[in-house]
Every structure is written in structure tokens, then in C-alpha cells.
Structure 1
Amino acid sequence: MATQDTGPKPPRAHTDEGLRTERAKSDQEYAQRQSSIEKGSDAAIDKARGQADEALQAARDTADGRRARNAAPVAQETLTQERATEDAALQGERDTADAELQDEREERMLALAALLHLERAETDLRLSGERAQADEALATRDNFMGMVSHDLRTLLGGIALQAALLKRGSGEDEAGRRATQAADKIQRFTARMNRLIGDLVDVASIEAGHIRVAPALQDATALVKDSVEAFQPLASAQGLTFDVELRGNTLMAKFDHERILQVLANLLSNAIKFTPAGGRILLRVEPVDPDVRFSVADTGPGIPSHQLEVVFNRFWQARSEDRRGLGLGLYISRGIVEAHGGRIWAESGSDQGSTFLFTLPGAPASAT
């Protein structure tokens, strides 16, 4: 099975996209503002020229009225030619002034564009340097985390093995029963620590933009069966009803079984954690062309609508006073789902229960 390094865009990709968007918006606003200023300037010039032309024409009309009674035809013709010459000269001066104004505007625009380019180039250079330092720091962190997680898992594996041996060698007397209980606790604690280490490694991979998934075309029914087997006992122990709905004749989708099982585990464990006894949890899977959609609904206290956009952020907690876990499960789930090319979201409201939904690419028509 080929493993692909893929995933949601890393934070810097969103930063770059946001920077490009802001720059384009700034350029557009500047161009609109500049155009408005130039139009206002042109309108003011045109208005002043129009008023000057009206005043000149009025003066000429008055003078013409006085001269018409006394001037000879030849003198009147000469006056008309002189005025035509004056008008042509005036228009020539205005054309020259307009050309000079346009040249000044173009020179100013080129100078401002060059200055803006230099400023942005300097910003990009600083950003590139900062990112190079950040990349080096992230590489160091990832290498360190890889070594530490390996060593810790090795130690945890040894602890779990010793706990299993202790449990196996315990007798049937009271001391043996206490030893067995202690061994069970040790195994549960080591399993939780191992999951925590895995979560931290996954967070680092998501941030770097290369979480590993190995999607393959398979039936989601087996995935649901594994989830039910894992969480039905826990739900029953909490006094909850756990129902499953499989809709459609086929639920073929392309996914990494273990990774999507991890997503369902996060969603179901949250539902069980926050739903009071007597409540209900519903796991539904259905085809929604061209995808397959999963949903986990509960009858818990729900999530305020204004928080639905942030529930998938790192370290988010339903209630600040309730610190069960690190708040990484939903963040990791989003990274895994998006690495498959799917989408995950939440629907809820205060005292309305919560529903978490995600989609996975369905089977092509030729494969069903």
C-alpha cells in the first residue's frame, strides 16, 4: 500500500494566501482611490476652464455688440480671424498642459509602483529569512520529537510488558488480586501515554503539512463495526444508548482504515464524555454523491453557535474549567480528514446536542 504525504495546507500557506489577497486588495483600493482623485482633479480643471471660456465668450459678445454698429465689414472679418487664432493658441496651450499633467501622473505612478515593489521585496526578504530560521527550528524539533517519541514508546512498551508479566504471575489470593488491579492500571496508563505521544507527533506532522495517510478503496461498513466494538461497552457503562444507521446499498469510499478509525474514536469518545447518562449517541454513514458522509450526533449540552468555527483549533476545550485531555483530538481529526480530500464540520447550539460530520471521497461510478 503506497503511503502518501499529504494534508491540509500548513499555516504558512494560509499566511501566503492571505498576504497575496491583502496585497491585491490594497492594489485595487489604491488604484480606485487614485482614479477617483484624478477624476476629481480633471473635473475641477474642466469646470475652471468652462467658467473661463464662458467669461471670455461673454466679454467677446459684449465687445462684438458695441463694435458691430461702427466696424466696417473688413475690420469685422479681421477680428474674427484674430479670435480664431487666439482660440487655437489657447487650445494648444491647454493640450500641452494636459500632456504635461498626464506625464507627471505617469511618472508619479511609476515612482510609487517602484517604491511599493521595493518595500514588498524587502518584506519578502525578511519573511524568507524568518522562515528559513523557522524551518531549521522545526526540523530540529521534529528530529528531537521523533527520537523522544521512539524512546518513550520503547520505554512504555517495556512497562506494559512488565505489567503483563506481573499480571500473569499473580496468584488467586488477595495480594494477587491487588497486583492484577495494579497491573491493569499500569497498562491503561501506558496506553493513554502512548496515545498522547501519537497525538503530539500527529500535530507536528499536520503543522508541517505532511501527515501520512494510505487511502484505499474499501467498504466503510467494516470501519463502523470496529468503532462499535470499541465504544459500545464504554457507552453502555456510561448509561448511554449507542445506535448505528447505515444508509444506502453500498458505502465504498477511499480512506485509510486506521486513520479514519482514529477520527471516529475522537468523535465518539467526545460524545460519550459530554453526554449525560440516559442520553443517546447516533453514528450514521450514508452516501452523499459523490462522497460518503459520516456523522456522530449526541444529546449532550451542545456547543454555542459562535464557537463552531473554533472547535477544530488546537487545544480547544468545550469548557475552560474542564481540562480533560489536551484538546488535540478535533484538530488532528480535521488534519486527517482533509488529508483524505474530505471536509469536517460541526452543527450544534446551546442545549441542542452536537453533531460532527465529515466526508470522504466515494467510489468512482465505474468501481461501484
Structure 2
Amino acid sequence: MTERPEPIPKMQLVLFIDDRPSAWELVQAVQAFLAADTEHPSTLRVVRVGEQPQLAEHFRVMLTPTLVHIAGGTRHLIAGKNLLAELRNAWSTWKRLAHGADPIAGPLPTTEAQLQIADEVFRLKQENAKLTERLLFQERMLAIVAHDLRNPLAAVSLAVETLEVSGDRLVPEKGQELLRHARQQVKLLDSLITDMLEAGAPDRMPQLVRVDLGKLCREALADLSLQAAIAAKKQVLTSDIPPDLPTIFGDPEQLRLVFSNLLDNASKYTPVGGHIALRVLHRTMHKVDVTVTDTGPGIPADLRERIFEHSYRLQPEDSVGYGIGLATCQRLVRAHYGRIWVDSAGKQGSCFHVVLPIF
């Protein structure tokens, strides 16, 4: 018995227009475009904003003409005089999205009660999508934990076991070396767990207050664990922080975490005797640029976006750093309406930029 093919979902489209004569010419053009694609059925409802303002408010229509595409729990809007051209550009994407939507589309709401129910359903679908994405992220994190915790734990276990078995037969110098190695691995475990907790914490908007950016950067530079790592590898740490920086609105704890993470990574990837620098540039009245540069191995151009993914590590077989840190940095910077990226020149090192707006 042959399986019946799943029905192709019918795309729901709503076109909001005003009373101008050109509006109906657009309606006919959109209808002709939709009718030409016989493989992907669609329904188009035309709404005059003046006759049904409640629908315009429901779909957050700000100008006419506006075309709304409804796919499951999401809505996509295109608007303006180039609407037909934008529809052609978006059509292939909308067709892919339609395959994940409910093939049985209900009628559009019209009454006040229906609009309230539709808004609540839309909100619940969005929350469900966020929860699903978060569960998938936590599954990825668990896989990272299982892999990344194994090596440091094994090293600590081996060091302790050697100390127990050898007892008094172990020379003091070897015993001290094993203890130092065990402490180093414990620090790595603590760093990884901290990153995991921060990355897995519920998203929250930053608690914005006026922040002295220069003071915040100096505090990150003075961190004791960073200073110890710099000293252990005989690295040189310099800074260039202008005294007249404007204050910015931000969450001090979140921004401190970003700068500390970038400095820690710079120390990890920079060889013995290398150079690390933190600079703050205030080039415009609206933005400030914090850069962290190093003389490490550099990052190839094709990997400069991937390093911000949750589970990506540049050199997993050699590196003591973890991909979760940069993913956390990107999330926190974006929460401040800023940007983070990296420039690199092959083996000349890396330069991480954090650009924050000045409000």
C-alpha cells in the first residue's frame, strides 16, 4: 500500500492597502504572481486599512501597502512601494517556511475576542519556539560537558592516584609538580563550569546604568587570575585607555565578563613572551570601540564567524579554551545593542572588536 503524500501547506497572505487607485493595481499584480506558482498554493486576503483598522493594529501594520506572510507561529512583513520586488526575493524563503507550518490554516480573526485569542496563541507559539531552541541548546551543552570535563578530571585523578600510590617514595619535586598540575586542571574545570552556567542562564536584559568604561576595562586588566596567567607565560600586557572617555549605559557585570573573557582567551592562545593589548577608541559621538589584540597564531578568515558558535573550538586537540566563552560574549554584546567580531592576519595574531553605542 503506497503512502499518501502529505498535503502541501497552503500559505496564508494578507495584503493591507489604502484607497489609492494604484493599490488595486498592486493587488492584481500580487494575485498574478501567486497564481503563477501552481506548485505552492496560497490564499491572499486583501484588507482595506480604513475598513478594518483592528486587523491593521493586530498585525502591527505601520504603512501601506504591507504584505503579511503567516507561517505557524511566525509572521513576516514586507512593505513599501517596492513590495512586489521584495515579494519575489522573499518567495523562496517563504515556501521553505510553509513546509514547516500547519497545513490546515484557519480563517483570520475579525472580532475583538478572536483577535485576543489569536494574539495569545501567537505569543504561546513564540514561547514554545524559544523553549524548544533552549532545550536543543542545553542538549548541545551537555554533550560539550561530557567531552570537555573528561580530560581535566582524568588528569586530576591520575595526579592524586600517583601521589597516593607512591607515598614517601616520591621525590618532593615530583610531588609538587603533580600538585601544580592538578591545581591547573581544577582551574580549567572551574572556568568551564562558570562559562557553562553563564551560557545556560536564562536570557535577561542588561540592567542598564551609567558605566565608566575606562574604569571597567582597568578592572578587567587588574584581575588576579589574568595577572597570574600573564606572569606564568612571561607575556607583556599593555593598555591604551583615554582619560576622557564618555560614560555609556550598560550592565557592569555583563560587560566586565565580556572583557575578562577576551583577555583570558588572548593569554591562552598567545605563546610565551607574546604581547597582549587592550585599547579603547572613541572615534565618533555615537560609538566606542574596545579592542583586544594578541600575537597568537591568528584565526583563518573562514573560521572568524564559527568561533562564536556555542560548541566550536579553534583547536580542540591542543587548546585549553572553550567555545562557550565567545558565544556568551556575543550574546551579551548583542543585548547591549553592540557588535563583536574578530580581525586576523594569519600568524600575526588576532584582534577582537567590541563596539558599543553611546546613548
Query: Taking structure 1 as reference, are residues 241 and 251 closer, same or farther at Cα in structure 2, changes over 3 Å only?
Result: farther
TM-score scaled to structure 2, two decimals? 0.51
Q: Which has the higher contact order (CA 8 A, sep 6+)?
A: 1
- Pairing partner for 2:42 from 113, 123, 127: 113
Structure with the higher helix share, 1 or 2: 1
CA shift for structure 1 position 178: 11
Deviations 1:209-265 (A, max 9, x none): x23532211211221221221223422321211110013622412222221111112
Superposition pairs of residues 1-368 of structure 1, within 5 angstroms? 112-114=41-43, 123-125=100-102, 132=128, 135=131, 138=134, 192-205=188-201, 210-230=203-223, 231-247=226-242, 249-288=244-283, 289-362=285-358, 364=359
- Tell me the SS of whatever aligns to 2:254: helix
Aligned partner of 2:160 in structure 1 is none
User: Contact 1:301 / 1:350 at 8 angstroms: preserved in 2?
Assistant: yes
Q: Distance in 1 between matches of 2:136 and 2:175?
A: 42
Query: Taking structure 1 as reference, are residues 217 and 318 closer, same or farther at Cα in structure 2, changes over 3 Å only?
Result: same
Percent of aligned pairs with the same amino acid: 26
Query: Taking structure 1 as reference, are residues 262 and 141 closer, same or farther at Cα in structure 2, changes over 3 Å only?
Result: closer
Query: Taking structure 1 as reference, are residues 191 and 265 closer, same or farther at Cα in structure 2, changes over 3 Å only?
Result: same
Instruction: Compute the RMSD of aligned alpha carbons.
Output: 4.7
- Tell me the SS of whatever aligns to 1:335: helix
Q: Distance in 2 between matches of 1:308 and 1:140?
A: 24
User: Contact 1:311 / 1:330 at 8 angstroms: preserved in 2?
Assistant: yes
Q: Distance in 1 between matches of 2:190 and 2:339?
A: 27
AA of the residue aligned to 1:312: F
Q: Distance in 1 between matches of 2:279 and 2:69?
A: 56
Q: Distance in 1 between matches of 2:217 and 2:338?
A: 18
AA of the residue aligned to 1:335: R
Stretches of structure 2 lacking an aligned partner (at least 5 in a row)? 1-10, 13-28, 45-67, 73-97, 104-121, 142-172
Structure number with larger C-alpha Rg: 1
Q: Distance in 1 between matches of 2:213 and 2:69?
A: 54
User: Contact 1:271 / 1:297 at 8 angstroms: preserved in 2?
Assistant: yes
Aligned partner of 2:25 in structure 1 is none
AA of the residue aligned to 1:329: G
Query: Taking structure 1 as reference, are residues 237 and 254 closer, same or farther at Cα in structure 2, changes over 3 Å only?
Result: same
CA shift for structure 1 position 321: 2.5
CA shift for structure 1 position 118: 12
User: Contact 1:253 / 1:291 at 8 angstroms: preserved in 2?
Assistant: no
Query: Taking structure 1 as reference, are residues 112 and 198 closer, same or farther at Cα in structure 2, changes over 3 Å only?
Result: same
Deviations 1:10-51 (A, max 9, x none): xxxxxxxxx99xxxxxxxxxx89x77xxxxxxxxxxxxxxxx
CA shift for structure 1 position 296: 0.2
TM-score scaled to structure 1, two decimals? 0.50
Stretches of structure 1 lacking an aligned partner (at least 5 in a row)? 1-18, 21-30, 36-104, 146-176
Q: Distance in 1 between matches of 2:314 and 2:255?
A: 23
Query: Taking structure 1 as reference, are residues 247 and 323 closer, same or farther at Cα in structure 2, changes over 3 Å only?
Result: same
CA shift for structure 1 position 131: 8.1
Q: Distance in 2 between matches of 1:141 and 1:353?
A: 31
CA shift for structure 1 position 276: 1.6
